[in-house]
Amino acid sequence: MTMPLMAPDRRLAAQAYEQLLDLIMSGALKPGTMIHERRLAEHLNMSRTPLRDALLMLERDGLVSRHGRSGLQIRHLDLAAFMDNLAIRRLLESEAARIAAGRVAPDLLDDIRARLAAMLACAAAATPPDRAEVRAIDEDLHAAITRAAGNAQMEEIIRTLRRQTLIFDLRSVPERLEDTCREHLAVVDALAAGFGEAAADAMRTHLDGVRQSIVARLAGG
């Protein structure tokens, strides 16, 4: 059976959503930035109708917030919201990792392991990291875990929570790069070995490390 094509308006809205998401995650659209639809539509080279649909999707995901009748702003996630977010992620992602152990494709884990090793080699050589690749590795690993866990609702909740977390300026803690790579490697090793409890523990350790580093940085530590 031939699958029906996505309606053009839905396809354009999905494209706009991905483009806007990339602008937010890359920092091109910073937290607190007010959205000007006309300028943004010109920048993305599309009409305002799919752009508005995409902005509604981002609002649903908690990445933009509404001010007044029509003003939209890139959401600034304050520290309290960030910590609440991480607490929920700690519960859900550790459980997802436990379930996913032994279920993630070995070639995918091998690829992520090799990319993490390359990042550690760059860090050892004091080479500035490719921030896009750092984000890509993080996204690929966490997404592989939630997919392998096989719970669509949990996957959607984690996806939204992770995107909200990423708009908090984690680039303010570049010293986390090596620790993050090692923590991710521990998760990968446990997943590959099929050790569910070890995978859950490794994920909790990773998210606890993120939390502690943010608290230390904000406290001047």
Place of tokens 């790579």: 181
Q: What is the pLDDT of residue 148?
A: 98
Cα dist. 160→6, 70, 141, 150, 163 in Å?
23, 23, 16, 17, 5
- Residue 69 to residue 104: CA distance in whole angstroms: 45
State the pLDDT confidence band at 1, using cuts at 50, 70 and 90.
very low
Question: What's the CATH fold of domain 8-74?
Answer: Arc Repressor Mutant, subunit A (1.10.10)
Quick: pLDDT tens for 53-66: 988 888 888 888 88
Give me the helix-helix angle, 176-193 and 131-149, nearest 10°: 30
Q: In this structure, what token pair is assigned to residue 213?
A: 């580093």
Give the DSSP letter of residue 34.
B
Percent of the chain scoring above 70 in pLDDT: 89
Domain ranges of the chain: 8-74, 79-218
If we measure between CA atoms, which residue out of 177, 186, 175 comes closest to residue 141? 186
CATH superfamily of the domain spanning 79-218: GntR ligand-binding domain-like (1.20.120.530)
